[in-house]
Structure 1
């Protein structure tokens, strides 16, 4: 009987503080910055933005980005594609875009030096190539599909709100059944650990960012020596944003679901492999932060489904402690399904196969939390076609 009461008590002690932290974050939601809307540029924005896009064998998915960037207006001075020796014809697509829009240009970066990860190296080289007359640097990934008015909206928001750096969460495009089920559960690990997009963190070490659409004042990026401070990071966007925030600059992470879409990975396996191993954010976090986040995820996202299903299958004796434990985990599951409704606008399932599996994604939560645990203390050895056998974690 003592043993039957002890385990529920220990689980309660494990989960209750984490639940309090989660609720304190979710209560900020109603006060968050509204999603960005497409904007028309104003005359003072003329030529104020240099866009840099890192590429490595992106021929199959870069065309929507090139088309979307060509629709941005006179606020964009130049669009620099930094290619890392693609062998699939990526540079040829950029050169073709240049024949219609002279703002496009492509150059090949130097071989990757020791200690650098490919993406920040390409972005750093692109930053060094940007025109000194540009006020803003905008890093974008090849998988982004920007709407007209995106860049003007970003600049207008940054100027109005006083941001030195602002990045956007996109609307994710889902296509296949496995990713419709798994990807929202993986995204939820971020929402549980950090404030939602539109809620600014007052702590530099808790700042969030998304390098898929990453706007920074050019002088601020120069003050931190470009991407050098994030050179060895596999989550360089978050690492750089936290370094910028630590220097006292204003950093924002906002909802961009109405101004850009992203098609990140093809299928559940690629989503698990590629996105799952960077979601731990270990390169931008202290060891204590990592352990704290793992505890929180396990307590409020990984365990509730397991606890409730275990009760239904085993039917243990009901007593006060067990009743409290069951009630808490049912409450956490209710929160989880409510959050699913909240993030639904962040997904485009228009042409997806098995899009209804999105609504069953809470069943993938234990798997998503497991993925974060598996990658939290393991440094990637391969990333986007590059090998990093000599990289050292931490």
Structure 2
């Protein structure tokens, strides 16, 4: 058993180490910036909404505090029934940059979110050089948009998205969510990492800035029309076309309260984290095997190894698995800045790693049937 573990885990641990060693050389977190006159009216913001009344308030407020670099804020509503449009109309009374749009009925073959973003893009001003997609659950901080555009210009990026600072409230969230987040770090490295190829590019659609010229080249969000991880699908398509794509640490300029409970996190976030819509079958299954080897298996293997006869292979396997667990706990210090506040459950979140990998496996083996209240059971039929 020890030899089999070493055969499986040894190469995976080496890959993990090579990715984590990129951390010290990554781009530092973005800092809030004040706009310069050359940014005047450069950005159109698009916010897709569907029954977001309970959480859109901080997003609308945060957008009103962005400066003159934002030309317009288009809220594309998909026929909400909870008062979301009324909240946008109220915001419009104090900030005329807000415009409320209602997208057309969802066409066949489209997922709701990319359809709303595509609709918004088609209605943005041609005078805007950049289009920024912002999710309704985000809390943009002052200086967000200016810092994004300045970073993109300085680095020559055509598309850039941010990892946010997460707001977690319950014990269950603080146990589960960091374990799910680490599945992304293990597979793709930390935000700000510079060396990923097109097939390993990461993105976060919660805050997704793209040059208008790039979106025109890609026909808007059409290439991600059927994707439940449209952000990664679009970013990888852009990178494959030759665009320069960045995924930066935005913990100082963007906050997000994604889900209201651990159960909602498990169901909603977990079903897209496998990224199968943006991934080849070989990469999808390879990533799952990798997570099993370095994130889930150490918790299961180490107790058995400690009970085995202490042969040399057993001792080496014990050392390897203990090192993987120590690395996992050490990573909590690295991701601490990505959370608004943490409690004791956060520091015990590595215990939830087997559950997180199980969630990725379940998602890998299934196709979503419902998403944000919409029925996709006939997708692909």
Alignment map for 1:335-346 (pairs within 5 Å): 335-346=327-338
Distance (Å, rounded) in 2 between the aligned partners of 1:254 and 1:177: 28
Contact in 2 for aligned 1:200/1:207 (Cα 8 Å): no
Contact in 2 for aligned 1:201/1:207 (Cα 8 Å): no
Displacement of 1:291: 1.0
If the length of structure 1 is used for normalisation, what is the TM-score? 0.96
Alignment map for 1:155-234 (pairs within 5 Å): 155-234=149-228
- Please list the CA deviations of residues 235-274 of structure 1 after superposition, one character each: whole Å capped at 9, or x if unmatched: 0000000000000010000000000100001111000000
If the length of structure 2 is used for normalisation, what is the TM-score? 0.99
Aligned-CA RMSD value: 0.9
Contact in 2 for aligned 1:382/1:388 (Cα 8 Å): yes
Which residue of structure 2 aligns with residue 332 of structure 1? 324
Contact in 1 for aligned 2:188/2:196 (Cα 8 Å): no
Kindly indicate whether residue 272 of structure 2 is the aligned counterpart of residue 284 of structure 1.
no
Distance (Å, rounded) in 2 between the aligned partners of 1:70 and 1:302: 43
- Please list the CA deviations of residues 328-381 of structure 1 after superposition, one character each: whole Å capped at 9, or x if unmatched: 00000111011111001101126xxxx210000000000100100011131100
2:352 equivalent among 359, 364, 367: 364
Contact in 1 for aligned 2:26/2:191 (Cα 8 Å): yes
- Please list the CA deviations of residues 194-224 of structure 1 after superposition, one character each: whole Å capped at 9, or x if unmatched: 0210012441010000000000001111100
Distance (Å, rounded) in 1 between the aligned partners of 2:195 and 2:248: 12
1:373 equivalent among 361, 375, 379: 361
Distance (Å, rounded) in 2 between the aligned partners of 1:18 and 1:82: 43
Contact in 2 for aligned 1:179/1:267 (Cα 8 Å): yes
Which residue of structure 1 aligns with residue 298 of structure 2? 304
Distance (Å, rounded) in 1 between the aligned partners of 2:176 and 2:211: 35
- Please list the CA deviations of residues 82-140 of structure 1 after superposition, one character each: whole Å capped at 9, or x if unmatched: 00000000000000000000000111100001100000000000000000000000000
1:100 equivalent among 89, 94, 99: 94
Kindly indicate whether residue 15 of structure 2 is the aligned counterpart of residue 39 of structure 1.
no
- Please list the CA deviations of residues 51-108 of structure 1 after superposition, one character each: whole Å capped at 9, or x if unmatched: 0000000000000000000000000000000000000000000000000000001111
Secondary structure of the corresponding residue to residue 348 of structure 2: helix
1:132 equivalent among 126, 129, 140: 126
Distance (Å, rounded) in 2 between the aligned partners of 1:188 and 1:69: 29
Which residue of structure 2 aligns with residue 245 of structure 1? 239
> After the TM superposition, which parts of structure 1 deviate over 4 Å for at least 4 consecutive aligned residues?
none
Which residue of structure 1 aligns with residue 54 of structure 2? 60
Distance (Å, rounded) in 1 between the aligned partners of 2:313 and 2:194: 37
Which residue of structure 2 aligns with residue 3 of structure 1? none
Distance (Å, rounded) in 2 between the aligned partners of 1:275 and 1:336: 21
Which residue of structure 1 aligns with residue 287 of structure 2? 293
Kindly indicate whether residue 312 of structure 2 is the aligned counterpart of residue 320 of structure 1.
yes
Unaligned runs of 5+ in 2: none
Kindly indicate whether residue 76 of structure 2 is the aligned counterpart of residue 88 of structure 1.
no
